[in-house]
Amino acid sequence: MIGHASIRARFWVRFLYGFLGLAAGAVAGYLVVEIPDALKLFVIVVGFFAFAVSIARVDWGLLVLIFITYTRFSDVAIRYHGAPSVAKSFIALLLIAVIARWIIFSERPEGWQKSTVLMIGFGLVGFASILYAVDPIRTQEASIDFVKDALIVITVTLLLHRGPQLRQVTWALLAAGLFLGTISVVQYLTKTFDNNYWGFGQAPVMHLVGSSSGNRISGPFGSPNVYAQIILTLVPLALDRFWNESKRWIRILAGYIFVVTSLTVVFTFSRSGFVALAAVFGLMILYYRPQLTSILAMLVVAIILVQFIPSQYVERIETLSLLRPDSDYNPKNEVSFRGRASEFLVGWMMFRDQPILGVGLKNYPVHYQDYSRRVGMDPRTEERSPHNLYIEVLAEQGLMGFFMFMLILWVVFRSVLEARHIFAEFEMHTNEGIVTAFGIGLVGFLMAAFFIHSAYPRFMWLLFGIALALPRVAQNELALVKAENNNK
């Protein structure tokens, strides 16, 4: 006999699908009549379709959330196509879907407690700075943005709980790399810098080396350094899938993503991206210890890729050697080095003046000129950012904020190591490789953060959310393996 709970669940599912069908028809008719712009209409219809799919398969909704977040789909749609915000509505929809499935299917939400406590702890420090910040409006706006980012972290930890999902999440990230990397490489090689590729291909003219300037690939961002930081995180994931996927065509696809993401980092002309990417490659080789044939294949690929590297990129990277301790070069002679040195010193001075609470969330730029005049290195008269995530946290949120941020980092990497240990111990090698590559990507991201502030923190929090969910994924997979062994 079918229980009353099952009958009740089926009733609510049918009711929900029927309601969504009627709503979809009504909305589609309204959009066709009211929105003459075909591209804008396409963006909205795709977003609405994603909403509907997420209700039926909330795990698919997680993949959509990751893709639209990592490509800045919503921000691009708003800025370049006048579409309404997709991200905020989508996050709300996923949370509603979780609650609905709890009510209808008795799927109790799990895994959100740790991430919620961490987000509240870090968020409260930032919120409190509204009380003493010179510009509380900036602090308020940044606090609202943090709430959105925290909801992404909590949503990811709510929805990511199985091994197959981990592989899907990996490929959702790689799909974003495939999309953005292909656009960036095509744009640079064809020199179509005037074409912004629907908003996903920005390439501003910026300083390169010496007195020369040129286009630097920036993707859907305004900053090539941030774009390099975001993209390089995907390189180890692509390399892991290229080495370890079982199907040849998937390995070829992963290899292609590895190539375009690596070249994209080069075409940003980001020195911090180069340093972090080199560290990522080194860690991948140390961990995987590839066979001689794999090393030779990588060398062949490297020789081919070298043909696409601009000569000015090599010159720009060579300037890093001028920072050696035994070099006679004075960093004050190079405009970007001089500016960064001033920004670091200013951040440290702010921290020394306000060591406990800082100057207030997003208030570093407000104070920059006052401190910069005291340093005497930077002739620029506009507001500047610290260009270092850790200096930014120290200057703006003091020791209290820095402690909470370091605690989050500790929990994040502990989660990665815990999941990797479980997968390795029970010989779940696919998941072990993914988790390891993800952890190496995080290391690259945080290394680049020594030269980049949190202009786009959502990507960091998305990656942290995935990391925080990993132990539950590993424990659930372990429980499944033990149950299968007991049934044999």
Q: At residue 6, does pLDDT exceed 60? A: no
pLDDT (mean) for 87-107:
77
pLDDT class for 1, splitting at 50, 70, 90?
very low
pLDDT of residue 90: 78
Percent helix, strand, coil in the chain (nearest 5)?
Answer: 75, 0, 20
Tens of pLDDT, residues 245-271? 989 999 999 999 999 999 999 999 999
pLDDT at site 7 = 57
Residue that wins the pLDDT comparison between 288 and 403: 403
Residue-level pLDDT at 324: 63
- In angstroms, the Cα distances linking 432 to 445, 466, 477 are 20, 15, 12
Percent of the chain past pLDDT 90, that is, above it, reads 61
CB 237 within 8 A of CB 441: yes
Q: Any alpha helices (H) in 268-381, and if so which ranges?
A: 271-288, 292-306, 311-318, 335-353, 364-375
* Residues contacting residue 330 through CB under 8 Å, at least 6 positions apart: none
Closest CA to 476 of 66, 109, 160: 160
Average pLDDT of the chain is 86
What per-residue confidence (pLDDT) applies to 304? 79
Q: What is the pLDDT of residues 62-83, one digit of tens each?
A: 998 999 999 999 899 888 877 7
Percent of the chain's residues with pLDDT above 70: 85
pLDDT at 322: 67
pLDDT tens for 124-137 read 999 999 999 999 99
Give which of 390, 404, 470 is closest to 437, Cα–Cα: 470
Distance CA 77, CA 50 (A): 15
Task: Please list, residue by residue across 171-200, b when 16 or more beta carbons sit within 10 angstroms of its beta carbon and e when fewer do.
Answer: bbbbbbbbbbbbbbbebbeeeebeebbebb
CA 243 centroid distance within chain: 23
Q: What is the mean pLDDT of residues 317-332?
A: 67
Which pLDDT score, from 0 to 100, does residue 413 have?
Answer: 97
- Comparing 134-148, 309-323, 442-456, the range with the smallest average pLDDT is 309-323
Q: Is 80 exceeded by the pLDDT of residue 8?
A: no
Q: What is the pTM of this model?
A: 0.89
Could you tell me if 267 and 188 are in contact, meaning their C-beta atoms sit under 8 angstroms apart? yes
pLDDT at 354: 95
Whether residue 343 is predicted with pLDDT greater than 80 in this model: the reply is yes
